[in-house]
Amino acid sequence: MTLGEKLKQYRAQAGLTQQELADRLFVTRAAVSKWERDLGYPGIDSLRLLAAQMGCTLDELVSEDDVENQRRLENRAAKRMYVCAIACFAVAVVFALLAYFLEEPLWLIGAGCFCAGYLVFAFFARPRWKRLAGNGIYRAAVFVIMLLVVLAITLAGLV
């Protein structure tokens, strides 16, 4: 049984609406709805309040299935970020090529913006649990590579 199913069952047994449960947990009704549909998970503070409301422990509330489901959600989001990062990189290359072949350096502004977008999306292309477990070398490597790409694009545009 997932966290959403447990939450929905508890709410039905207690005779509470989503709004009433949200008020007790100090969150929005939309957040409770999202949790019940297993589209998101509450933060640790909300989990503690939920466990207290339900009269159970955190371990009982969050089973192994919930942890796996959360990882699946994070992996799916990371894949979307990866696709966005690749798209930003491709558009940056197109802008750099336009700047080079049209001999118009203003296109480099677009290339730089999309390189920055690549950096942001590349950072989020790893699931959160992997980013937290890492030691920062991954982020540093991505940053150095992108700096080199931006430098190469800029030099190519000026030549």
Residue 152: pLDDT band (50, 70, 90) is confident
Assess whether 103 and 57 both reside in one domain.
no
Assess whether 113 and 51 both reside in one domain.
no
Residue 86: pLDDT band (50, 70, 90) is very high
Cβ atoms of 56 and 75 within 8 Å: the answer is: no
Which of 18-27, 54-63, 69-78, 135-144 has the lowest average pLDDT?
Answer: 135-144
Determine the angle formed by the axes of helices 18-25 and 44-54, rounding to 10 degrees.
120
CA atoms in the 13 A half-sphere facing the CB of 131: 14
Cβ atoms of 107 and 63 within 8 Å: the answer is: no
Assess whether 152 and 94 both reside in one domain.
yes
Assess whether 41 and 86 both reside in one domain.
no
> What pLDDT, on a 0 to 100 scale, did the predictor assign at position 28?
92
DSSP, res 126: S
Assess whether 105 and 42 both reside in one domain.
no
Task: Quote the mean pLDDT of the chain.
Answer: 82
Residue 148: pLDDT band (50, 70, 90) is confident
Assess whether 42 and 100 both reside in one domain.
no
Number of domains within the chain: 2
Residue type (1 letter), 132 = L
- Does residue 69 fall inside a structural domain? no
**Mean pLDDT (whole number) for 19-45:** 89
The set of residues, in sequence order, having a beta carbon less than 8 Å from that of 85 and lying 6+ positions away, is: 117, 118, 121, 122, 125
Assess whether 115 and 54 both reside in one domain.
no
> What pLDDT, on a 0 to 100 scale, did the predictor assign at position 12?
87
> What pLDDT, on a 0 to 100 scale, did the predictor assign at position 33?
92
Q: Is the pLDDT of residue 83 over 90?
A: yes
Assess whether 57 and 81 both reside in one domain.
no
Task: Report how far residue 101's alpha carbon sits from residue 72's, in angstroms, rounded to the nearest whole number.
Answer: 44
In CATH, what number is assigned to the domain containing residue 49? 1.10.260.40
Residue 136: pLDDT band (50, 70, 90) is low
Question: How many Cβ atoms from other residues are within 10 Å of residue 119's Cβ?
Answer: 20
Instruction: Output the CA–CA distances (angstroms, integers) from residue 131 to 56, 70, 74, 98, 135, in the order listed.
Output: 31, 15, 11, 35, 8
Write out the residue range of the structural domain in which residue 90 sits.
74-158
